[in-house]
Structure 1
Amino acid sequence: MNIDTIADWKSQLEILSAEDDVHAQAAVERLQALELQVKVARNEADVAVRMASSSRKALEKTSERLERMLAAAQPEGALSSTVPVRGNVNESGVVRRTPVREVVRLFLQERGEATTREIIEHVRDARPDVNAENTGPELTGWVKEGRIMRSRLGVYRLPMQEAADVKQS
């Protein structure tokens, strides 16, 4: 091999190495920027989930209050003019809506365990007045709160203690 040829190769490799370093640094910077965007998006999603949960709770409380006010304004013994849903009817004839978490708890109590889709369908049947598709994200929150347990991906059941209590009664 010729010394000039090897020196030329070395010179070309130095240029390629410098270009690769620039590309690698740019890739690292892009990756860091994207990781920051993901972190911001996760935080925004967490805030949005909490806001949606708060809104649902506020809507539920407002609906209950409106229902009570409507019942108080009706003649005694008259049925409520609210949309009929499954639930308990109190002595005034007002339909008391069963909370979605209670609908899910009773369903899991009866079934032992159920898939997300089965739970959503049951909620849709039991509470046609609510958007049952919101139940999926709620299940994750209930798992974190310990109200229910995830047996495996997409399958839920009651916590062990509550399930044992049900079998004893």
Structure 2
Amino acid sequence: MKKRKLLVPDGMYQDIYEINTLLLSSLGKEGVIFDIDNTVAPYEILRPTKEMKDYFESLVNAGIKIAFVSNNKNDRAGIFNEELGFFCVPDASKPSPKGINRCIRHMGLERDKILLVGDQIFTDCIAAHRAKLDFFMVKPIKDKNTLFFKAKRFLERPFISIYRRLKVKNESRT
């Protein structure tokens, strides 16, 4: 098993749409667990758009299993997932890995075949790594403009810098 840095993403992308079937196949991933808020959809979007539905359909058609994990309440996560029908764990209490572990059990896949995608280091990244999953970070779709979120994003910067340095170092070896 590879050694992980708890607070450092394993990959960084602009948005979920960059994490496509070709990338997942090249990494040997057969399942993806998505955070919902600010990763897949902005907070105020209650239902998936056509673009989101098409994206998830492309993953499913390629044999990728999908689940959602959210710290938001069941009414938000449930409404968003209603039309999609994927396994969903609301009130997941990330950075606890418990909700993610429920998704893993439901998927029935080995951990090295599953990826977690989210937009936050202090919840999503820590939870993924505690559950022994790879974590891909996407840029937040629309940040909340509160002091708490601004402070959290500021505190994430050093770990994003570490990821970038490690990526450059690894690319220079190949």
- TM-score using structure 1 length: 0.24
Higher helix share: 1
What is the TM-score with the length of structure 2 in the denominator?
0.24
Higher strand share: 2
